[in-house]
Amino acid sequence: MKRYKNIFLTGFSALAVVFAMSSCQKKFDAGSYRPSKPLPSYGGYTSSKQIAPDNLVAYWAFNGVLTDSVSKKGGTATGTSFGTGITNKSLQGAANSYALCDAPDGLATVKSLTLSAWVNTPPPSNGILTYFSFATTSNFWGNIECFFENGSDNTNGKLRIHLAQNGSDNTYSIDNVANLFNTWVNIVVTYNQTDGTCVLYVNGDAKNTGKAGNLTGPLAFTNIGKVTFGTTQFMTDPSQTSATGKQDWASYITGQIDQVRVYNSALSATQVSALYNLDKAGR
């Protein structure tokens, strides 16, 4: 009887050990053994950092700071704050508000240009809305001015891009652009010094090809000032230019600006589309 009792106890102990071991093991999940899928690429790019990195001369991500991540130069806020952006945070505008940033060295010497920005703002109601202004200290318009013209709405969006060449002002004007307001929109403008062609892209798609007046050849900026976000160069206090002061037909962006990049080359359509999609994906 004792012998059977020992056999029973030994068998019971073995079963207990097996049960204890099995309870510590994870249930087999076939899905966990599948190879992970690579992230989708756009135009052969999987990260926005891969797009023309040697041509990137300025990048403001607005993730809680006004610093340009290329030059490491900072800025100061006048009434602006930080809100929710396209991927992280963004520059949040307000009435009579703007941000001023020291100009990156590479921005002052661009000959060809790509300027990409995400903007989410109501249409103009009190005056033109400038999302990017690169000041010249002695002329009415800056070396670069990018703004929504008065009379714009979601049926007829009007964009004006001013580009300087040795003190002369040249305007690239685009009308009848739909759906620019009250939602996040990626606006990209390129200028190619080789043929003087400007291209407007909205959300990765080319919407217009044209000229900035009679501008041809390399851009040439003079009397370098600061970069302004949220209004044009003459609406700051004090004005960024000696040529003029505040105008009653100009105003301030009360919406948001995010992910502003400047390249010293005209990106291709493939690169612009990839940048849009990768920004949207947070990559």
Asked if the model's pLDDT at residue 16 lies above 70, the reply is: no
Q: Are 169 and 262 spatial neighbours (Cβ–Cβ below 8 Å)?
A: no
Query: Residue with structure tokens 């302004």?
Result: 228
Q: Are 87 and 184 spatial neighbours (Cβ–Cβ below 8 Å)?
A: no
Residues 6+ apart with CB under 8 A from 209: 197, 198, 199, 200
Q: Are 257 and 187 spatial neighbours (Cβ–Cβ below 8 Å)?
A: no
3-state helix, strand, coil in the chain (%, to 5): 20, 35, 45
Nearest alpha carbon to residue 246 among 260, 261, 235:
235
Q: Are 204 and 174 spatial neighbours (Cβ–Cβ below 8 Å)?
A: no
Average pLDDT over residues 166-183: 97
Average pLDDT over residues 78-98: 96
CA distance 88 to 75: 19
Domain ranges of the chain: 56-280
> 237: number of CA atoms within 13 Å, CB side?
8
Residue 36: predicted pLDDT: 56
Residue 37: predicted pLDDT: 66
Each residue's pLDDT tens digit, 196-252:
999 999 999 999 999 999 999 999 999 999 999 999 999 999 999 999 999 999 999
In words, the CATH class of domain 56-280 is mainly beta
How many Cβ atoms sit within 10 Å of the Cβ of residue 132?
A: 25
Model confidence, pTM:
0.86
